Amino acid sequence: MLKTTKHLPSESGAVKSADKHFVEQGLKQLNLQEKGKETQAAKLVADQLLKKLISKADLSSGVLNFLQNIWRPVLCNVYLSKGESSRSWKNIKKVSSVLIWTLSAKSTEKEKRMLLTTLPSLKHALSRGMERIQVDTAQQEAVFQMMEIEHEKIISQSGKDSTVGFDVTTASAEKNTDESQGDINRDDDDLMKLVAQACAVDEESAMAVDHNAKIQNMKIGTRVNFDVSGTIDNIGELYWKSNLTGRTVFVNTQGQNAATMNIRELVSELSAGRAKILES
């Protein structure tokens, strides 16, 4: 008995150690299983959201590719790290909705204005989303170039295609509720701007549409001052343009290339007041 008793502590310790190890392993496995389940759940939720959104618009293969290979992991990341009831998840869903809305056909000038004002904030929100999964700058730039072309197509469309049911009223209401709750983080702030801009047809957006129309009709030889507060050296003459791609080339008074930009970039310069079309 004594012998047995003597050995009990060490045997008991070994057993306890083995038990502890066993329990730890079990817990790890359970954790892994839980994580696996959570990951599966996140993928499922992301897939359901994307499926719903994709069904609302006729999207190009480039956009579908982005949604599947880049945006889906972003959604999963937010769902897993912040949870389904988090504000971040709600925000990322709204950003996704707004993105799809911007890529659907616009039948009215009002919608096109809304689209134009939404784009800068949307780009910022998408960029922050992609940063979550370490999408590098070059890849982000490729995404934005692809989106830019898609948005230009939407803006230049004159058809009466159907639009998606983006509930602007709901978005506004959510905005107000969120604001009343306070503690708005940076993501929320971005989204608030995004939704607010998507909902508002303000003077600025009307100006952007106006600039867009002016540029579309701009004749070769039109002069643009690229630094309104600067000197005459910053005046460029439209020397070359492409109607199909929107690319423009300006030269300076020496005939050297002064600027190569697409119509969206030029609209942005004009809207920001950094450039001005000079009357001939």
Partner 1 sequence: MNGQVNTVGQTINDQTFERGIALSGPHALGVNPELGLIAMAEGDSQAKDTPAHKAIEVLLDDIQLNLSPDGGRTTIPMADSLTTFCLRESVDNINDYLFSNMDQWQPRESYKGVGLAAMLPHGKRLSYTITGDTGCFLFSDNQLIDLNASADKTTRLGLDSRIKPEVSEVEFHDGDILIMISADALNCTGSDFIRVTLSRFGDNLERVLRQINTRTKRNGLEHRPDLILHCS
Residues forming the site for partner 1 (CB under 8 A): 60-62, 65, 142, 145-146, 149, 219-222, 237, 239-245, 247, 249, 251-256, 280
Give the integer Cα–Cα distance in Å for 63 and 60.
Answer: 5
Close Cβ partners of 233 (under 8 Å, ≥ 6 residues apart): 252, 253
* Nearest residue (CB) to partner 1, 2 versus 244: 244
Q: In angstroms, what is the minimal distance from the CB of 120 to partner 1?
A: 20
Q: In angstroms, what is the minimal distance from the CB of 218 to partner 1?
A: 11
Longest alpha-carbon distance in the chain: 112
Residue 119 CB neighbour total at 10 angstroms: 22
* Nearest residue (CB) to partner 1, 180 versus 254: 254
Q: Of 201, 194, 200, 205, whose CA–CA distance to 94 is shortest? A: 194
Q: In angstroms, what is the minimal distance from the CB of 259 to partner 1?
A: 13
**Contact assessment for residue 175 and residue 192, using Cβ atoms and an 8 Å cutoff:** yes
Q: Of 212, 218, 229, 220, whose CA–CA distance to 273 is shortest? A: 229
Q: In angstroms, what is the minimal distance from the CB of 97 to partner 1?
A: 23
* Nearest residue (CB) to partner 1, 140 versus 172: 140
Structure tokens at 108: 């009215």
* Nearest residue (CB) to partner 1, 54 versus 146: 146
Q: In angstroms, what is the minimal distance from the CB of 94 to partner 1?
A: 26
* Nearest residue (CB) to partner 1, 61 versus 231: 61
Half-sphere exposure of 124 (CA within 13 A, CB side): 15
